[in-house]
């Protein structure tokens, strides 16, 4: 018996010496457990051969991951549910529509866990300019979300297959798909583009064209007598959706409070006025009505402006008690991520979350003036069923409109759509972002409908006449991230040593799940394969990422 006990103790000691006991840094890793690739060459979540780890310190181009250095908890990855998306899907036969929805929300599909929707009208509505109350209803007695349920009549819109389908039915279908699977959570963030027009000083939904020296002010602001009413309006929305079986996970006071040049529904707040609105009205109202667990995110506009808003609202302890973080968009630059802003805000306010709530390929199909020429074929809007468009320097955006004041054209070069998505997600997660949401998840072959002509790209685009469904490369990249970065995962520290590469050639982030599976996301923006080493603790593996590609490397620690 003593011999057996001694032998067992020796084995235990040897195991500790050889394999270690840390959370991944000194365990013998063996090999990767899964490698996925989506690339310009046509790979779509393609499985690659696993590679072995060996002991030692890597040299050359190295991505180092530190599983023990845990950072923020992930809220999820996803795309948005809009009236325009519902309208496009209403053109499909119900069975085909359900197939598309499963490709978005099921575990076999992209399995999106985070989504956003609009409260009242936004630009991606078929007709827009609506709210949930009539002008004379100052006490909100007849508040109704019927607009989100009314559907689209075949007599008015040709090609409609399901007249009952609309924004709220689309949300319910997504939730129903989630409820049939083990990984069932779908977190919904709701944003109003504006208060009902009669609550604002301009008395209109928006005023096109920017007044001189006031380019941000064309959405108007709340009248003093309706500030409290607007808080009631937002809470009534939460109640109405809950009555329909839809719990809203998070809310923002308004979309893009700086304004949008009066192009579509909008409403202005400054950091100071939004601070007062939350502190005196919306925060207390949410708590009083039992919605204190609904997450409240401030701002909801471009990343570069986050710090100014945080220094007003997060710094006010009376307001901060009601606030869970900030929502940001990406439109201030087609290539910058503003991770330095994230780092400074997190350092000052570590308990506040940062969620990306909107980003898309904006102004789809518009030429770039000033001597910039579009690639051959782009003039004819060849983004539909043309993967090459999404993997080439083919996209422009609103920066080229010289009427926009304050725009730095140098921050808006033509860009590769997939790179913009993957770079933004990877670098953001590596710098404290907790969740990332794309804009419309489904649009038609033109990038609409949009009641003001602001056509944009979407992960899924559908020819409403032929019912042809095109899953763009953006869909597959988002699906790769979503399937391997799940709610509750923890971001971990990474470092990069790039010897013969440029700063934008290779990007990486890493997350760790509850099963101790480490997921490393890697982007190669170059036109050549890149050899790199993946260092974890005192071991490393030698890997190659294909040209123009997004790679996910998964390791069981």
Which burial class, exposed, middle or buried, applies to 213 when counting CB atoms under 10 A from its CB (0-12, 13-18, 19+)?
Answer: exposed
Q: Are 110 and 475 within 8 A, CB to CB?
A: yes
DSSP count for the chain of H helices, then E strands:
13, 21
Structure tokens at 469: 């469904």
Give helix 417-429 / helix 473-484 axis angle, nearest 10°: 20
Residue 379 has what pLDDT?
44
Helix (H) or strand (E) holding 73: strand 62-73
The pLDDT value recorded for residue 400 is: 54
248 cis-preceded (ω within 30 degrees of 0): no
Identify whether the C-beta of residue 531 lies closer than 8 Å to the C-beta of residue 543: yes
Domains for the chain: give ranges and CATH numbers.
2-72+490-556 (2.60.40.1180), 75-484 (3.20.20.80)
pLDDT reported for residue 371: 39
| pTM, rounded to two decimals | 0.93
Tell me what pLDDT residue 398 has.
Answer: 65
Residue given tokens 């069981």 in the structure block:
556
Residue-level pLDDT at 218: 84
Q: Which DSSP helix (H) or strand (E) runs through 117?
A: strand 114-119
Average pLDDT of adjacent 10-residue blocks, the chain of 557 residues: 42 36 58 97 98 97 98 98 98 98 98 98 98 96 98 97 98 97 93 98 87 64 97 98 98 95 92 98 98 98 98 98 98 96 98 98 70 43 86 78 65 92 98 98 96 94 97 98 98 97 97 98 98 98 98 98
- Position 6 scores a pLDDT of 43
The phi and psi torsions of 230 (rounded to 5 degrees) equal: -65, -40
């Amino acid at each position: 018996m003593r011999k057996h006990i001694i032998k067992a103790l020796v084995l235990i000691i040897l195991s500790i010496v050889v394999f270690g006991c840390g959370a991944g840094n000194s365990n013998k890793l063996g090999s990767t457990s899964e490698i996925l690739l989506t690339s310009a060459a046509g790979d779509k979540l393609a499985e690659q051969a696993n590679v072995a780890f060996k002991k030692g310190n890597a040299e050359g181009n190295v991505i180092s991951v530190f599983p023990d250095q845990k950072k923020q908890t992930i809220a999820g990855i996803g795309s948005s549910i809009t009236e325009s998306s519902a309208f496009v899907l209403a053109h499909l036969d119900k069975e085909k529509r359900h197939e598309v929805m499963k490709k978005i929300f099921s575990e076999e599909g992209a399995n999106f866990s985070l989504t956003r929707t609009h409260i009242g009208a936004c630009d991606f509505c078929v007709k827009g300019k609506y709210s949930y109350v009539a002008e004379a209803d100052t006490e909100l007695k007849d508040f109704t979300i019927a607009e989100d349920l009314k559907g689209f009549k075949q007599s008015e819109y040709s090609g409609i297959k399901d007249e009952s389908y609309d924004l709220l039915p689309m949300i319910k279908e997504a939730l129903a798909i989630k409820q049939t699977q083990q990984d069932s959570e779908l977190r919904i963030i709701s944003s109003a583009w504006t208060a009902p027009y009669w609550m604002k000083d301009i008395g209109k939904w928006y005023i096109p064209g920017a007044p001189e020296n006031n380019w941000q002010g064309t959405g108007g602001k709340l009248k003093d007598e309706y500030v409290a009413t607007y808080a009631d309006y937002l809470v009534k929305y939460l109640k109405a959706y809950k009555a329909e079986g839809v719990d809203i996970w998070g809310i923002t006071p308004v979309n893009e409070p700086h304004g949008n040049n009066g192009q579509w529904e909008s409403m202005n707040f400054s950091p100071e006025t939004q601070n007062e609105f939350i502190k005196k009205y919306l925060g207390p109202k949410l708590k009083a009505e039992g919605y204190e667990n609904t997450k409240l995110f401030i701002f909801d506009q471009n990343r570069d402006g986050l710090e100014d808003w945080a220094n007003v609202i997060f710094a006010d302890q009376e307001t901060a008690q009601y606030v869970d973080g900030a929502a940001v968009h990406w439109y201030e630059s087609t290539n910058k991520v503003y991770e330095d802003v994230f780092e400074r805000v997190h350092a000052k306010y570590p308990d506040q979350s940062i969620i990306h709530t909107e980003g898309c390929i904006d102004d789809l199909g518009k030429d770039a003036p000033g001597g910039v020429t579009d690639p051959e074929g782009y003039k004819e809007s060849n983004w539909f069923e043309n993967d090459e468009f999404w993997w080439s320097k083919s996209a422009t955006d609103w920066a080229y409109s010289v009427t926009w004041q304050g725009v730095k054209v140098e921050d808006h070069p033509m860009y590769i759509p997939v790179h913009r998505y993957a770079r933004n997600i990877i670098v953001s997660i590596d710098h404290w972002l907790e969740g990332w949401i794309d804009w419309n998840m489904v649009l038609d072959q033109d990038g609409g409908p949009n009641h003001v002509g602001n056509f944009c790209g979407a992960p899924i685009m559908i020819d409403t006449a032929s019912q042809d469904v095109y899953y763009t490369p953006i869909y597959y990249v988002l699906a790769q991230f979503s399937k391997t970065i799940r709610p509750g995962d923890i971001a971990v520290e990474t470092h990069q040593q790039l010897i013969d590469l440029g700063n934008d050639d290779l990007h990486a982030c890493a997350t760790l799940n509850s099963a101790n599976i480490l997921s490393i996301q890697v982007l190669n923006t170059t036109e050549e394969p890149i050899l790199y080493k993946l260092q974890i603790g005192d071991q490393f593996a030698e890997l190659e990422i294909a040209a123009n590609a997004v790679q996910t490397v998964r390791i069981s620690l």
